[in-house]
A and B are shown apart, each in its own frame.
Chain A
Amino acid sequence: MNIVVCVKYVPDAQADRTFSVDNTTDRAGVDGLLSELDEYAVEEALKIAEANDGEVTILTIGPDRAADALKKALQMGAHRAVHVNDAAIHGSDAIATSLVLAKAIQKLDPQPDLVLTGMASTDGTMGVVPTMLAERLGLPAVTYASELTVADGKVSVRRDGDLASQTIEATLPALVSVTDQINEPRYPSFKGIMAAKKKPVDTWTLADLGVDAELVGLTAAWTTVESFSARPPRQKGQIVTDEGDGGSKLAVFLGEHKFL
């Protein structure tokens, strides 16, 4: 069972995130990490691989520092990693991202039985790359899995909606995106950290993938960020002094805001 997990190196949500001069996400001035939503996909892949004697390959696209996201996944227990790193990719939209990911996956040997992704990135939060990628690879796509089992050449997925939970089955090879409800990602162990240093990481450029640089990057993007402004700081809270009538004042406040 060969599993590929697509992951993204994102700015740490706890840091002061901002944009660069070209209105793309600032990835240089802010500490980054393996997107927390992608950790669930890595964990799920490791669990399936452990149960099925499989191998997990981690794939990312990003600048040099994105290697840290691969490192974290390898420390958790993944077997190998591929880093697509090419300056021309900077500013790519979801369409170009899915193109590069698809080309990279098609170059893998052996080909994966299962492609896993997180439900969205924590920076762009578009959540469309998984289905675009499945389309390019010609694979069945099952999104937002909160439970996943693999057996008899099929993947079975529980997909929780507001009104109902669906059980969806797809034949392998397939692509599945997972939610943050599917598991509890493990921490790396110290042994995992030591072992990760010896695991193979391939670095590929667009030329290695045979992707025309004009199809990717900021100039090829179908959408661009025109402008941005920081969200206004939160308003100061209202302090109600309890002079024996705190309860009724609270009720009035909740009523005004239509909570009652």
Chain B
Amino acid sequence: MPAERLLPTDDSQDLIDLTREICRQDLAPQVDDMERAGTFPEKTFRLLGQAGLLSLPYPEEFGGGAQPYEVYLQVVEEIASVWMSVAVGASVHALTCYPVATFGTDEQRQRLLPAMLGGDQLGAYCLSEPMSGSDVGSMTTRATRSDDGGTYALKGTKAWISNAGHADFYTTFARTSDDGGRGLSCFIVPAQTEGISFGAVERTMGLRCDPIRQVTFEDARVDAGQRVGEEGQGMAIALSALDSGRLGIAAAATGLAQAALDQAAAYAKERRQFGRAIGEFQGLAFLLADMEAAVTSSRASYLYAARMRDAGRPFSKQAAVAKLVATDAAMKVTTDAVQVLGGAGYTQDFPLERYMREAKVTQIFEGTNQIQRLVISRQLLG
């Protein structure tokens, strides 16, 4: 059952209708096989890009859809309710465009954004490193400026990078001085840059169509014009981008939970035991009611944060709340959905076990849920 949505305009309703049509006709028929094989859905990203669904929250003049986050995120949620890996890839792509769109110069926006938002390109976000996860300020990847100042040479290894090996550009954070968190800078590194190599695809628990790899820069040389923001501004850019990125993850987690709930509710109406549908037993009916409450509150949380963002208000705390609430809810709802289907839910004949595996990572990436609590509590007590 499609989620009930209050949308601000007729345009946004048309956008949701388009998303549902593409999801139903193109994504749904292939998701099971593709996830089983772990194939990167390149054609699907191209299709979504051509339809304009990968550039929604960015300005029209650079090829974006000029949509508020309130609408963009509901598109992400709709995609996630059919194919979580693709929704995460789409959210990551939006994240990779954020630094140029928000911190880039006019010249950089005009030069870089039309291609990034044109629908034919995908980005990857290179922040984490093998030894630097939540502690972003400890990263060791270094960008050394040439004597004439015209280029930077990047050296170091990034870890857990979505879209790695398939992306057209890498939004990369690297150290330009030894000044801890104040020594980081942001670069847009084109995929064809010499000196980039990729590790093996990580053998992950879920999101098999979202290949995660290490990205190694070995004296990868980029023009100084590819640096976004000032030297030393990297940490602020990364955290600002993640505030918005987290909303994408919250929306995706909500869609995943909605899909699990829909299938569990449908099964509870069909499956009969002791002479009646199992949904007629209060033990299961209340479990489903709690799942509905969790999904609805997840959606409300991310939409509230989105509306704060759209209104130009600070939303960092609300984004952390939304990410925490929605991803914890997704873990619980998908786990309970497996329970509703019983033995069937535990088999690969139904997608519920996959949903449960996919939910787990949402509590980990784009800031672990422990980091979200840190963000929230610091704002409360700071």
| B11 interface residue per 8 A CB criterion | yes
Q: Which of B21, B26, B52 contacts A190 (CB 8 A)?
A: B52
Which of B11, B21, B52 is the most central at the interface, judged by chain A CB atoms within 10 Å of its CB? B52
| B305 interface residue per 8 A CB criterion | no
Q: How far is the CA of A191 from the CA of B11 in the complex (A)?
A: 10
B18 proximity list for chain A (CB < 8 A): 187-188, 190, 193
Q: List 25 A-B contacts (CB under 8 A).
A: A75-B14, A186-B50, A187-B18, A187-B21, A187-B22, A187-B26, A187-B51, A188-B18, A188-B51, A189-B50, A189-B51, A189-B52, A190-B15, A190-B18, A190-B52, A190-B53, A190-B56, A190-B65, A191-B52, A193-B11, A193-B14, A193-B15, A193-B18, A194-B11, A197-B11
Q: How far is the CA of A75 from the CA of B51 in the complex (A)?
A: 11
* Contact pattern, B 7-43, Cβ under 8 Å of A = 1, otherwise 0: 0000100110010011000100000000000000000
B52 proximity list for chain A (CB < 8 A): 189-191
CB distance from B290 to the nearest CB of A (A): 32
* Contact pattern, A 171-214, Cβ under 8 Å of B = 1, otherwise 0: 00000000000000011111101100100000000000000000
Counting from the closest, the 6 A-B pairs by CB-CB distance are A190-B52, A189-B52, A193-B14, A189-B51, A190-B65, A187-B51
- Which residue of A has the minimal Cβ distance to B67? A190
Which of B11, B50, B51 is the most central at the interface, judged by chain A CB atoms within 10 Å of its CB? B51
B220 proximity list for chain A (CB < 8 A): none
Q: How far is the CA of A190 from the CA of B18 in the complex (A)?
A: 8
Q: How far is the CA of A197 from the CA of B14 in the complex (A)?
A: 11
A193 proximity list for chain B (CB < 8 A): 11, 14-15, 18
Chain B interface (Cβ < 8 Å from any Cβ of A)? 11, 14-15, 18, 21-22, 26, 47, 50-53, 56, 65
A191 proximity list for chain B (CB < 8 A): 52, 65
Q: Is the CB of A187 within 8 A of B15?
A: no
Secondary structure at chain B's binding surface: helix, strand, loop or mixed? helix
Other A-B contacts than A187-B47, A191-B52, 8 sampled, CB-CB below 8 A, are A187-B18, A187-B22, A187-B26, A189-B51, A189-B52, A190-B51, A190-B52, A193-B11
A197 proximity list for chain B (CB < 8 A): 11
Q: How far is the CA of A215 from the CA of B184 in the complex (A)?
A: 78
B26 proximity list for chain A (CB < 8 A): 187
CB distance from B62 to the nearest CB of A (A): 13
- Which residue of B has the minimal Cβ distance to A194? B11
- Which residue of A has the minimal Cβ distance to B56? A190
B53 proximity list for chain A (CB < 8 A): 190
B15 proximity list for chain A (CB < 8 A): 190, 193
CB distance from B25 to the nearest CB of A (A): 8
Q: How far is the CA of A193 from the CA of B50 in the complex (A)?
A: 13
CB distance from B352 to the nearest CB of A (A): 24
Q: How far is the CA of A176 from the CA of B26 in the complex (A)?
A: 28
A189 proximity list for chain B (CB < 8 A): 50-52
- Which residue of A has the minimal Cβ distance to B65? A190
Q: How far is the CA of A191 from the CA of B18 in the complex (A)?
A: 11
Q: How far is the CA of A178 from the CA of B13 in the complex (A)?
A: 32
Q: How far is the CA of A197 from the CA of B52 in the complex (A)?
A: 17
- Which residue of A has the minimal Cβ distance to B14? A193
Q: How far is the CA of A191 from the CA of B22 in the complex (A)?
A: 15
A187 proximity list for chain B (CB < 8 A): 18, 21-22, 26, 47, 50-51
CB distance from A15 to the nearest CB of B (A): 14
CB distance from A68 to the nearest CB of B (A): 11
A188 proximity list for chain B (CB < 8 A): 18, 51
Q: How far is the CA of A189 from the CA of B54 in the complex (A)?
A: 11
Q: How far is the CA of A194 from the CA of B13 in the complex (A)?
A: 12
Q: How far is the CA of A186 from the CA of B26 in the complex (A)?
A: 11
B51 proximity list for chain A (CB < 8 A): 187-190
B56 proximity list for chain A (CB < 8 A): 190
A190 proximity list for chain B (CB < 8 A): 15, 18, 51-53, 56, 65
Residues of chain A from 81 to 123 with CB closer than 8 A to chain B in the complex: none
B65 proximity list for chain A (CB < 8 A): 190-191
B14 proximity list for chain A (CB < 8 A): 75, 193
